[in-house]
């Protein structure tokens, strides 16, 4: 329920932002006349305009943060901005809400502008994650060690105290890398010392694998273990056997085989 509300609110915020942006474009900004390759400066400029209309209510004009509403974004870099915007976690419905994955509120062009603007204050860049370079087995080991405790070993997500550890079924390798380096919400931040760039490649490869794993054995009933298994056992298996018992368990009323026997 909370997630749905948050998603709805985020979508509304996003929608408003888009309308505002469209109006801004119509006012004859550089966008219309810009060359195909938008220069960095103009990208930052349009990002600033977008930021002021869509983000500054919480993060402040100039991304300096507003006490009690939103943190400063100076120095978080393209890394955090790209992660939060690409996964739809920003904008938030309320400043205290848990940022949850949803559809991005902004189109790609605008996300690029916003990211460029936030990155203009400095800070870490988006990591270059190449799952192809990683090792699946290393990824499994690292994931079991560092990620499964919250996201479950099969990447299906779960709860932790006070928060939701999301399912990783939609996480792209780049987003996996960003989340590891950012540590969004209650997730710990893993620096290069904890998880190297090569290990990050392996992790991303494992998450990719989890989205289409070696899944023999038939219908995969959610891959979250014994809960759906128990439900299938009762609702399908036990129900079928009860039906069998009900059908063959009683003779017809005119059964000629009926006998009577006495005790002792």
Neighbours of 36 (CB within 10 A): 4
Place of tokens 């559809």: 103
Contact between 8 and other proteins (CB under 8 A)? Answer: no
The number of angstroms, rounded, from the C-alpha of 28 to the middle of its chain's C-alpha atoms is 36
Contact between 12 and other proteins (CB under 8 A)? Answer: no
Contact between 216 and other proteins (CB under 8 A)? Answer: yes
Residue 202 C-beta: closest distance to other proteins, Å: 11
Nearer to other proteins, 8 or 236 (CB): 236
Contact between 18 and other proteins (CB under 8 A)? Answer: no
Gyration radius of the chain over CA positions:
27
Q: Are 172 and 207 in contact (CB under 8 A)?
A: no
* One residue of 122, 132, 149, 191 binding other proteins per CB under 8 A: 149
* Site track for other proteins across 51-90, x = CB under 8 A: ----------------------------------------
* 3-state class (DSSP) for residue 164: strand
Axis crossing angle, helix 136-146 with helix 197-211, rounded to the nearest 10 = 90
Nearer to other proteins, 22 or 136 (CB): 136
Length, in residues, of the chain = 264
Contact between 234 and other proteins (CB under 8 A)? Answer: yes
- Residue 91: asked if its preceding bond is cis (omega within 30°), the reply is yes
Separation of alpha carbons 235 and 229, rounded Å: 10
Q: Which range binds other proteins by CB under 8 A, 11-19, 44-52, 87-95, 218-226? A: 218-226
Contacts of 120 (CB under 8 A, 6+ apart): 44, 47
Q: Report the site for other proteins in 182-211 (rule: CB under 8 A).
A: 206, 209
Residues that bind other proteins (CB under 8 A): 1-4, 136-137, 139-141, 144-145, 148-154, 156-161, 164-165, 206, 209, 213-221, 223-227, 229-230, 232-234, 236-238, 240-242, 244-246, 248-251, 253, 255, 257-264
């Amino acid at each position: 329920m909370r997630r749905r509300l948050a998603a709805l609110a985020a979508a509304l915020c996003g929608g408003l932002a888009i309308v505002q942006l469209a109006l801004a474009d119509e006012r004859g900004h550089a966008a219309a006349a810009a060359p195909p390759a938008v220069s960095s400066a103009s990208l930052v400029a349009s990002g600033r305009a977008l930021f002021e209309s869509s983000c500054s209510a919480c993060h402040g004009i100039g991304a300096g943060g507003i006490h009690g509403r939103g943190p400063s974004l100076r120095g978080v870099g393209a890394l955090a901005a790209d992660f939060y915007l690409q996964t739809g976690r920003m904008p938030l419905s309320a400043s205290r809400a848990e940022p949850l994955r949803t559809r991005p509120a902004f189109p790609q062009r605008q996300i690029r502008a916003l990211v460029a603007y936030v990155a203009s204050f400095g800070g870490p860049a988006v990591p270059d994650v190449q799952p192809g370079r990683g090792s699946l087995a290393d990824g499994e080991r690292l994931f079991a060690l560092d990620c499964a405790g919250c996201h479950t070993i099969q990447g299906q997500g779960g709860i932790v105290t006070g928060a939701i550890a999301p399912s990783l079924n939609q996480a792209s390798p780049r987003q996996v890398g960003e989340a590891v380096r950012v540590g969004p919400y209650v997730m710990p931040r893993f620096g290069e010392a904890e998880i190297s760039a090569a290990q990050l490649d392996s992790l991303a490869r494992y998450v990719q694998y989890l989205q289409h794993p070696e899944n023999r054995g038939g219908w995969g009933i959610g891959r979250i273990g014994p809960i759906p298994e128990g439900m299938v056992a009762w609702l399908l298996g036990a129900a079928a056997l009860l039906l069998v018992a009900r059908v063959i368990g009683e003779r017809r009323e005119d059964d000629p085989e009926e006998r009577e026997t006495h005790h002792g």
